[in-house]
């Protein structure tokens, strides 16, 4: 049986995809600002040799968000869903409130809270606002799967 990896997907242009192993070691990290082909190649590098489970942050349009940015955000969300399906990744969605509560880092809009939580979890890794949520989603995916 192939080893499992755990993936966290924070959609949107300023999000990322993070992949960790059973011991919470980061084995892959890519910002969503890359091309769709680059994101697909990133996923291929893991699914070819591992069973990958993923949590995708469930998002929706935000009040007062412009039409163009809402369309761009929705396109990114759909692209990421398509990548997961196309590469045979077993995945679920989780709302921001749910995963932040489970990871004990409710932000109430302050991204520094999740950045600090991820930095505590991976002190040797340079954590950015773009990568923090994806890493924490991957960790929650790991915890849920190994219960």
The helix/strand/coil state of 130 is helix
Residue 100 tokens read as 């932040």
Closest CA to 16 of 126, 108, 103, 105: 126
pLDDT in tens, the chain (147 residues): 579 999 999 997 789 999 999 999 999 999 988 889 999 999 999 998 999 999 999 987 667 778 887 787 778 899 999 999 999 999 999 999 999 999 999 998 899 999 999 999 999 999 999 999 999 999 999 999 998
What residues have CB less than 8 Å from 68, skipping those under 6 apart? none
Instruction: Identify the domain containing residue 72 by its residue range.
Output: 4-145
Helices marked H in 7-128: 36-47, 67-86, 96-102, 111-121
- Tell me the pTM: 0.92
The total of structural domains in the chain comes to: 1
Burial class (CB in 10 A: 0-12, 13-18, 19+), 92: exposed
pLDDT of residue 70: 77
pLDDT of residue 75: 82
Residue 29 is part of a domain; what is its CATH number?
Answer: 3.30.420.10
pLDDT of residue 1: 55
Residue 5 and residue 21 in contact, taking contact as beta carbons nearer than 8 Å = yes
Residue 134 tokens read as 């994806």
């Amino acid at each position: 049986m192939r080893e499992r990896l755990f993936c966290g997907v924070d959609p949107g242009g300023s999000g990322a995809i993070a992949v960790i192993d059973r011991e919470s070691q980061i084995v892959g990290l890519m910002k969503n600002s890359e091309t769709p082909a680059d994101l697909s190649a990133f996923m291929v590098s893991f699914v070819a040799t591992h069973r990958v489970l993923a949590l995708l942050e469930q998002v929706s349009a935000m009040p007062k968000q412009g039409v163009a940015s809402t369309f761009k955000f929705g396109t990114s969300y759909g692209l990421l869903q398509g990548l997961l399906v196309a590469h045979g990744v077993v995945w679920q969605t989780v709302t921001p409130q749910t995963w932040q509560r489970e990871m004990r880092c409710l932000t109430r809009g302050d991204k520094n809270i999740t950045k600090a939580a991820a930095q505590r979890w991976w002190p040797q890794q340079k954590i950015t606002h773009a990568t923090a949520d994806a890493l924490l989603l991957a960790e929650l995916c790991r915890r849920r799967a190994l219960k």
